[in-house]
A and B are shown apart, each in its own frame.
Chain A
Amino acid sequence: MLKLKILPQPEVFLQLLPGMLQAQTLELLLGHIFTSSRQKYLQPISGKRFLFRTPDGEIELFMCVDHLGIHIQPHTQEVPDVTISGDLMALTALCLGLEDTDSLFFSRRLLLTGDTSTGLMFKNILANLDFDLCAELELKLGKHTADMLWRMATQAINAVEFFDQQVARAGIVVGERFGLSPVEKVKSLETQLHSLNEKHVALKQRLERRHRPDRAKQAA
C-alpha cells in the first residue's frame, strides 16, 4: 500500500476516484468553493446546465446551478447549455482554477461547445475567486476534511491494488483502459502526487513571500 504523508492536490483525488465518487467529490469541492459567502457569484449562470466530459466519454458529470447552489450528478438525460470537454486534469484545472484555461484551450486540452457566453462566464467567475483552495482545505476546514479526502483516495488506491491482485490471480491482463496496468497507474499517480506536492510547497513559499510587506521593487 502507498504511504504518502502529504495532502495531494484536488485534481489528483478526482483522478483516483470512480465515477460516482468523482461527482460527489467535485460537488463537495465546488460546494466548498461556492460557500454561502461566495454563492452570489453564481447568479449570472443561475439556471444554466453544464456537462463536463472526457473526450473518450468515460466520464460525464452534469452540473446545474440554481438558487441553492451547484448540483452535480453523473449521467443525465438533460440537454446542457454548455459542454466542456477535456481530460480530467484539464476539467478540474478549470473548475478549481488551477491552471490558465486559455492555454488549455490553445493546446487543445479543453473545448467548450454550446453556449460560449455561458461557458466564458463560468470560466471567469471561477477565475475571479480570490482564494487558495488547497490552503483553505487545509487551514480552514482543518485536518478532518483533509483526512477524509485522503482516506477516500487511499481507499480508491487500495481498491485498484486489490483489483489488480484479483486480476493477476486470474491470470488476465487488463488495464488497456488506461494504457497502463493498474499497478503502473497507481505508481504514475504516486509520481504525480510527489511532483504536485513539490509544486504545492513552492506555492506556499510564494504565498509567504507575497505576504512580506517589504517586497523589493525595481525602480525604473
Chain B
Amino acid sequence: MNHSEPLPAMKIAVGPLLFGWPEAKIQDFYLSLTEESDADIFYLGEVVCSKRTISGIKWQLKLASQLQESGREVVLSTLAMPTTEGELQFIRDLTAAAGEMNLAIEANDMASVAVASQLGVKFVAGPHLNVYSHGMLEQMCRHGAKRVVLPLEIPAKDIPDVIGQSDIEVEYFAHGHLPLTFSARCYTARSHGLSKQECRHVCFLNPDGIEMHTLDDHDFATINGTQIMSHRPFTAINYLAELAGFGVRTLRISPQASGMSETLRHFRAAADGAVSAEEALQGVAGGRNISETFCNGYYHGRQGRVWVET
C-alpha cells in the first residue's frame, strides 16, 4: 500500500465502552481521550447490562456535554437487550435527553429504533441490528438512521453491495475485542459464584473482562458480564485504504482499559496516510507477535478468530 495516496477522509470513532467500569473511571477515560486523541466521535452509554446503569442518566448527560464542548460528535448508546419496563424507560429517557441535546443515539435494539423514530431523534444503527444487506440498510434509513454500523461478521468485500447507491455514512468495527453475543445470564457473576440478581457489580473488578480458554489451551473468549467477547482484539488497521474504497467513512475503535490513546493515534496516522498499513499494524501491536495477538478472519469472510496475512 502506497501511503502517499490520499484516502477519502475517514472519521475515527471511540465505540461505546462495553466493559463494566465504575462511573469515575469511565469519566476519566473519556475526558483523557479528548485531550490525548483527536477521535471525531465518542459513543457513550451502557450497551451490555442495565445493572451497570445504577447512577442513572444525569452523569452520563453531563459527560456527554463535556465531550461535546471538546468539539466532538457525541452519540448516546443504548442497551442491546432491553427486556424490562425499567430498561425500556431508561432508553426512552436517554433518547428524549439526546433529542434535547441535539444528539443522536446508537440503537442497539429495535426498541431504540422505535423510540427514536417516534421522538424524531436521529439514530446510528448499531452493530447488533444485523444490517447484512442493502434492503436492511434502506429500512434503517427509512426509519431515520444517520449512520449504520455493519455487523461484525460481514466480509469486507460485501460492504459495497450493502451500501449500494445509498449515501448513508457507514461505520466499520475496526479494532477491539469483538462483542460476540448477549445472554440473560451474567457470566462474570457466575465465574465469581454469584447470580445476576446479586452480582455485587463484580464486573467492576475485571476492567478488561475475564479470559476464557479452551481445554487444550487455545485462546477463545473474554467474559464481559452477560456478554461474551473475542479474546483476541480484531484489527483492520492495515486495511483502511481498502475499507475507504469499499465506502466505509467511519472506523470504530472499541474501548479497552489500556493503550487506547496510542491505538487511536495509530489509526489516525494510518487513516491520514501518514504511515503505511504495515507501520500502523506494527504500531498497534507494540512489539507483540501480530498473528498471535490479533484476529481479522471476519474481514476475509473466514473464522473470526484467525489472523489472515495480507
Answer yes or no: A and B touching, Cβ < 8 Å. no
Which of B's residues lie within 8 Å of A, judged by CB? none
